[in-house]
Chain A
Amino acid sequence: MRLPRAAWVCAAVALLNAACWSLVTPPLQGIDEPDHVAYVQELAETGHRPVVGAANELSEEELIVYEDLHGALIRFRPQSPAISSDAEQQQLERDLASRFPPVGPVNAGTAATEPPLYYALETIPYTLGSWGDLLDRLQLMRLFSGLIAAVAVLMSFLFVRETLPSAPWAWTVGGLAVAVMPLLGFVSGAVNPEVLLVAVSAALFYLLARAFRLGLTRRLGLAIGAVSAAGFLAKLNFIGLAPGVLVGLSLLVLRAPRASRRAALRSAAAAVLIAFTPVALYVLIDALAVKPLLGAAAPVLQLVQGSITREINYVWQFYLPKLPGTEGYFPGIDTARGLWFDGVIGRFGWDDVFFPGWVYDLALVPAAALAALGFRALVLGRGALARHIPATLTYSVMAVGLLVLVGADSYISEHSGAGGPYWQPRYLLPLIPLLAVGLALAAQGAGARWGRVAGVWIVVLFFANDLFGQLQTVARYYG
Chain B
Amino acid sequence: MRDVKIALVLALALVAIALAIVLSGSPPAVTRAKAPIADAQRLGALASGGEVCQGGEVVPRGTTAMRVWLEAVIGPPLTLTARSGSRVLTSGRRGAGWSTASVTIPVRPVSRTSSDVTVCVRVGQTREPVHLAGVETPARSASYNASHEPRAGRVMVEYLRPGRSSWWSLARSVSRRMGLGHALSGIWVALLALSMVVAMATAMGRLMLREMR
Contacts and interface: CB of A to CB of B under 8 A. Distances in A.
Interface of A: 6, 9-10, 12-13, 16-17, 19-20, 23-24, 26-27, 68-69, 73, 76-86, 88-89, 92, 132-133, 135-136, 138-139, 168-169, 171-173, 176, 180, 329-334, 337-339, 342, 347, 350-352, 354, 356-357, 420-421, 423, 450, 452-453, 455-457, 459-461, 463-464, 467-468, 470-471, 474-475, 477-479
Nearest to B96: A333
Contact of A338 (B30, B67, B95): B95
Contact of A176 (B22, B104, B170, B207): B207
Contacts, number: 198
Contact of A82 (B27, B158, B181, B211): B181
A339 B14 CA distance: 29
A142 to B, nearest CB: 9
19 contacts: A6-B207, A20-B197, A27-B182, A83-B181, A85-B180, A88-B181, A172-B212, A173-B212, A180-B200, A331-B126, A332-B127, A333-B97, A337-B97, A338-B74, A452-B3, A455-B208, A456-B11, A463-B201, A471-B22
Contact of B4 (A68, A76, A456): A456
B76 interface: yes
Interface string B17-47: 0110010000100100010011000000000
Interface string B183-213: 1110001001100110111011001101111
The 5 closest A-B pairs by CB, nearest first: A338-B97, A332-B125, A460-B11, A139-B183, A333-B96
Contacts of A133: 183
A22 B196 CA distance: 11
A19 to B, nearest CB: 6
Contacts of A339: 74, 97
Interface of B: 3-4, 7-8, 11-12, 14-15, 18-19, 22, 27, 30, 34, 37-38, 48, 67, 71, 73-74, 76-77, 94-102, 104, 106, 124-127, 158, 167, 170, 174, 177-178, 180-185, 189, 192-193, 196-197, 199-201, 203-204, 207-208, 210-213
A92 B213 CA distance: 52
B99 A351 contact: yes
B155 to A, nearest CB: 14
